[in-house]
Chains A and B, each alone.
Chain A
Amino acid sequence: MIFNDYNPQEDKILRIIDNEGKIINKELLPDLDDETVIQAYKSMLYARTADEMAVSFQRQGRMYTYPPSMGHEAIHIAGGMIIRNDDWLVPAFRELGFMLAKEVTMKEIFLYYMGYEQGSNFSKANHVLPICIPIASQLLHANGIGFSINYQKKDEVVFGFVGDGGTSEGDFSEALNFAGVWNVPVIFTIQNNQYAISVPVKSQTKSVNLAVKAIAFGIPGIKVDGNDFFAMYVAYKTAFEYARAGKGAVLIEALTYRKSAHTTSDDPTKYRTKEEESEWHKTDPLHRMKKYMENKGIWNENGEVLIEKYKLEIDNQFTEAENFTPYKLDDVFDYMYEDKPDVLKKQKEDYELFQSWKENRK
């Protein structure tokens, strides 16, 4: 059992391929056929391309503040391959690849960052909550969903996400505690990307790592190389089977690096060095996966051509988002309640009177 073999108290880390895609832990290499591995890489490449395009659209002033996911693709795509349609995704806000895997569309992602609430109404995606900006608060919802699953005797599993900074919030500890006591089928992932905006993880905790926090709450914790697709796949698969079997929650610390800024409003040069960045860039998940495929002789495609194809497809979704129905006054009011209070109706009517006054004045 990997949870025993990779005891976080000993600060062990689950890793299967090295930075150049060489297998260093053959015993744990998952038995995936070549086509599946190639598809996983392509999904990572798609997520990376979409993320870079989002940053570029923001820079062009066509979107508002955006939190890039670059560097986190292995975590998202590995989890995305394991999560079923009826399993739940409870995101923080840096899980782009995972959301795409759950059939959230880039159009919806774009709509959100263009400033439409409609971007949280995932029309095709089943069991995906909107992103959650108040740090760590979403993990408690994951427990509630886990409770419902047990109560309704279903066999769904919940994937809840938080960042390294989020582990300092009270809600994080409360969530792990409830998860242990209630024995809920929740897989908590900490995307430890080394920074909470400017604050390094060593300023967040004195713990030897973040996975070890699971121990005190009586649930398994494991530290995984989050830039190693195969390691993440194995960790998720094990956690998924554990949770599905009714054994309870699992905490996965996915060690990664926020390759880009916290958001497009942030400037990482203020608080981290080029040297540190280039050290981490050597661990890039896409590079490692590609090297693995090349070493095995299964990668025969032209990456540039693929990227161009993805760009075209993503660009079409962006155009659809840009041509989305203009925001109306009704959109401010209509979704606050199912049963709209009269006071809201009156506020809207008053505003319409103001609008017609404004029109007549012109």
Chain B
Amino acid sequence: MSMMTIVQAINNALDIKLAEDKTIVVYGEDTGKEGGVFRVTEGLQKKYGVERVFDSPLAESAIVGAGLGMALSGLRPIVELQFDGFTYPAFNQIISNVSRMHNRSRGKYKVPMVIRFPYGGGINALEHHSESPEALYAHIPGIKVVIPSTPHDAKGLLIAAIESNDPVIFMEPKRIYRAIKQEVAEEKYSIPLGKAKVLTEGKDVTVVAFGAMIRECQKAMAMATDAGISVELIDLRTIYPIDKETIATSIKKTGRLVIVAEAPESFGIGGELIAIANEEAFLYLEAPPKRVMGFDTIVPMAKGEPFYMITPERIFYEIERTVNF
């Protein structure tokens, strides 16, 4: 075991897989020599050479499109896109090609490819550096979307993503890239995709979140405990395929659902979770499910971001209202 941040845990997962599997290549903008703008790939070029860990020209569509070609011809590419807001030039490749190749070729072609990028707000960044586009990507049939919330999960989920023969979008919560240190096993392990995790058991209300919002929920839970409310906290870990069973089981137990996510509320992950509550646990509901999500606005620039970012206090406020409904 050693203490790792999320950045170190991801680096460690890449290191383990690069050592083990010669078909893996890692590339993106500034990913090679510099080790990425967040230093996630730091040291890997030195260790595995420029043939396997390298800088590409600046073109997200080409990065992802070439990755697909590699995946179709014997390699397992892990590509990095620099920021959430810079992934969109690659959107066409992802939605039109990456996601469809397996189905279109009736399984002849597999797409063992991981697209990594940092996402989310709360770091006083410039425009286009604070977005949470998980719903955009989860809405694409043929893609898996994974978001870790801890160093331990980041490593295990990334290894599972790399080993998957389906294309995986791996979104990294940049706000907590270095905020948490945790004991992480040095050897290889993986955490299955598609499974949520009950982080804390409780009986009054189910709170579902992922990524950087888990920490905020844990702080809100402490407030709820003081107020005599017992919260069951679920970390989704994988956005798609979503773990309906774990969610429904919890709602059946608590009768209440609060969803916490940074992305704009309308047509986002919250609506999907409420649909699961309605379809799978309708008769158990004791209060309307509640979304605690971003406004339907652009993430404001730094001076306005505190209004947008979801605080433990706001989560607690909605938990309390839901429980007292």
Give the interface of A toward B (CB within 8 A).
Answer: 64-65, 112, 114-117, 133-135, 137, 165-166, 168-171, 196-199, 203-205, 265-266, 270-271, 327, 329, 331-333, 336, 341, 343-344, 347-348, 351, 354, 357-358
Chain A hits for B124, CB < 8 A: 64-65, 115
Does B304 lie within 8 Å of A331, measured CB to CB?
yes
Among B58, B85, B317, the residue within 8 A (CB) of A204 is: B58
What is the CA–CA distance of A139 and B303 in the complex, to the nearest angstrom?
A: 29
What is the CA–CA distance of A134 and B127 in the complex, to the nearest angstrom?
A: 9
- In the complex, which residues 76-98 of chain B have their Cβ closer than 8 Å to any Cβ of chain A? 85-86, 88-89
Q: A199-B30, A203-B57 are in contact. Are A134 and B301 (CB under 8 A)?
A: no
The 10 tightest CB contacts between A and B, nearest first, are: A115-B302, A198-B34, A168-B57, A165-B58, A115-B303, A327-B303, A115-B301, A168-B58, A168-B59, A198-B30
Chain A hits for B243, CB < 8 A: none
Chain B hits for A354, CB < 8 A: 314, 317
Interface-located stretch among B231-239, B276-284, B290-298: B290-298
Is B246 an interface position by the 8 A CB rule? no
Is B23 an interface position by the 8 A CB rule? no
Does B89 lie within 8 Å of A169, measured CB to CB?
yes
What is the CA–CA distance of A171 and B296 in the complex, to the nearest angstrom?
A: 28
**Which applies to chain B's interface (DSSP): helix, strand, loop or mixed?**
loop
Is B170 an interface position by the 8 A CB rule? no
Chain B hits for A112, CB < 8 A: 301
Is B163 an interface position by the 8 A CB rule? no
Chain A hits for B265, CB < 8 A: 347
What is the CA–CA distance of A54 and B37 in the complex, to the nearest angstrom?
A: 22
What is the CA–CA distance of A329 and B304 in the complex, to the nearest angstrom?
A: 8
How far apart are A74's CB and chain B's nearest CB, in angstroms? 24
- In the complex, which residues 236-288 of chain B have their Cβ closer than 8 Å to any Cβ of chain A? 265-266
Chain B hits for A134, CB < 8 A: 85-86, 88-89, 128
Does A270 lie within 8 Å of B34, measured CB to CB?
yes
How far apart are A325's CB and chain B's nearest CB, in angstroms? 10
Chain B hits for A271, CB < 8 A: 33-34
What is the CA–CA distance of A327 and B129 in the complex, to the nearest angstrom?
A: 20
What is the CA–CA distance of A170 and B305 in the complex, to the nearest angstrom?
A: 32
Among B128, B304, B317, the residue within 8 A (CB) of A133 is: B128
Does B37 lie within 8 Å of A332, measured CB to CB?
no
11 CB contacts below 8 A, A to B, read A65-B124, A65-B126, A112-B301, A133-B128, A197-B37, A199-B57, A199-B58, A205-B57, A266-B37, A344-B297, A347-B296
Among A115, A116, A171, A198, the residue within 8 A (CB) of B33 is: A198
Among A64, A265, A266, A347, the residue within 8 A (CB) of B302 is: A64
Does B301 lie within 8 Å of A358, measured CB to CB?
no
Does A347 lie within 8 Å of B295, measured CB to CB?
yes
Does B297 lie within 8 Å of A333, measured CB to CB?
yes
How far apart are B88's CB and chain A's nearest CB, in angstroms? 7
Does B30 lie within 8 Å of A332, measured CB to CB?
no
B57, B62, B317 interface centre (most CB from chain A within 10 Å): B57
How far apart are B232's CB and chain A's nearest CB, in angstroms? 23
Does A357 lie within 8 Å of B317, measured CB to CB?
yes
Is B55 an interface position by the 8 A CB rule? yes
Closest B residue to A347 using CB positions: B295
B34, B265, B266 interface centre (most CB from chain A within 10 Å): B34
Further 11 A-B residue pairs, CB within 8 A, beyond A117-B300, A117-B304: A114-B303, A115-B303, A165-B57, A199-B33, A199-B57, A327-B300, A329-B307, A336-B297, A343-B266, A344-B296, A348-B295
Closest B residue to A130 using CB positions: B127
Does B303 lie within 8 Å of A116, measured CB to CB?
yes
How far apart are B268's CB and chain A's nearest CB, in angstroms? 13
Closest B residue to A199 using CB positions: B55
Chain A hits for B129, CB < 8 A: 133
- In the complex, which residues 27-57 of chain B have their Cβ closer than 8 Å to any Cβ of chain A? 29-30, 33-34, 37, 55, 57
What is the CA–CA distance of A251 and B131 in the complex, to the nearest angstrom?
A: 33
Contact string, B1-43, partner A, CB cutoff 8 A, digits 1/0? 0000000000000000000000000000110011001000000
Is B179 an interface position by the 8 A CB rule? no
What is the CA–CA distance of A305 and B57 in the complex, to the nearest angstrom?
A: 44
